[in-house]
Amino acid sequence: MELEKSLVSGSMSLLVLKLLEDGDLYGYQMIDELRRRSDDTFRLRAGTLYPLLHGLEEKGLVTAYEQTADSGKTRRYYHLTRQGRDALREKESAWNAYARAMGRVLKGGACLA
Amino acid sequence: MELEKSLVSGSMSLLVLKLLEDGDLYGYQMIDELRRRSDDTFRLRAGTLYPLLHGLEEKGLVTAYEQTADSGKTRRYYHLTRQGRDALREKESAWNAYARAMGRVLKGGACLA
DNA sequence: TGACATATATAGACATCCGATATATAATGC
DNA sequence: GCATTATATATCGGATGTCTATATATGTCA
């Protein structure tokens, strides 16, 4: 099922921070990882990810370092900072509150029977 | 807990359509109703709602009619069309898919123990 | 009569995300 | 040896959705 593009926004940073919780990743890798972990639901685009990562770096939620792989390609790895971990926790609980509220509204109705 | 404003967007139309599933409502009423049904989580603003309703009307998902209350105030009621019902079902399943995927990503990690 | 709640409405600003495009290198195919 | 594809990062312009601020008019209450 095709996800409506406009359904949700602003949760991409939450997802990216969450991915980095388990260890440092480089951008291209995040795209694959997110797709895998969401069973192909979240297809993060490069044009979305890189500006987002730069923003997270500016805010101090992640730090970046370059590393050249055996293949010879230079990869830019991102690391979750302490601040990033705090932000992640906040965003997670905000998401949970939001999802709960959605559940209440979507379940609450249908009293026509 | 304060919900981050930017966390989710695009789901307001889903919520509004859902409210109208149970019967016709006027705008101001939707704000209260949504707030009540979400336990004070969703505080829809008038400046968000009215343009949204006009958009839904343009798309044929709702129809509108005016009615004067006993109080003397003229209220603009909105009614969910057949098309609106279809759109509601689609948006609901899109939301469910999204929420499930979020759940998978948010639960999947944390393997550091 | 002045303040407040009800009720609808628009304009301007802002954040988020996507598509298109650009660059450079490595691997693969012919 | 050369072309194509995959990897990897990056920026720009635009579409969308929501907010704040503002405007309007009426009803209620002190």
As ranges, strand C nucleotides with an atom below 7 A of a protein CB are: 6-12, 15-22, 25-27
In a domain, A1, yes or no: no
pLDDT surpasses 90 at A77: yes
Domain count, chain B: 1
Q: What DSSP state is assigned to residue B40?
A: T
| Domain CATH code at residue B79 | 1.10.10.10
Nearest to A50 by CA among A89, A19, A16, A88: A16
What is d(CA B104, CA B83) in angstroms, rounded to the nearest whole number?
32
pLDDT tens for chain B, 113 residues long, are 344 555 556 789 999 999 999 999 999 999 999 999 999 889 899 999 999 999 999 999 999 999 998 888 899 999 999 999 999 999 999 899 999 999 999 997 655 44
Question: Domain of A96?
Answer: 12-105
Q: What DSSP state is assigned to residue A59?
A: T
Q: What strands, in cross-sheet order, belong to the sheet with A62-68?
A: A25-26, A74-80, A62-68
In a domain, A111, yes or no: no
What pLDDT is stored for residue A1 in this prediction? 38
In a domain, A112, yes or no: no
In a domain, A7, yes or no: no
In a domain, A74, yes or no: yes
Long-range contacts of B62-66 (CB under 8 A, 24+ apart): B62/B17, B62/B20
> Count of CB contacts below 8 A, A vs B?
123
Nearest to A15 by CA among A49, A40, A66: A49
In a domain, B92, yes or no: yes
In a domain, B57, yes or no: yes
A54 touches strand D (CB under 7 A): yes
Three-state SS at B82: helix
B73 touches strand C (CB under 7 A): yes
In a domain, A4, yes or no: no
Q: Which tokens go with B17?
A: 């359509």
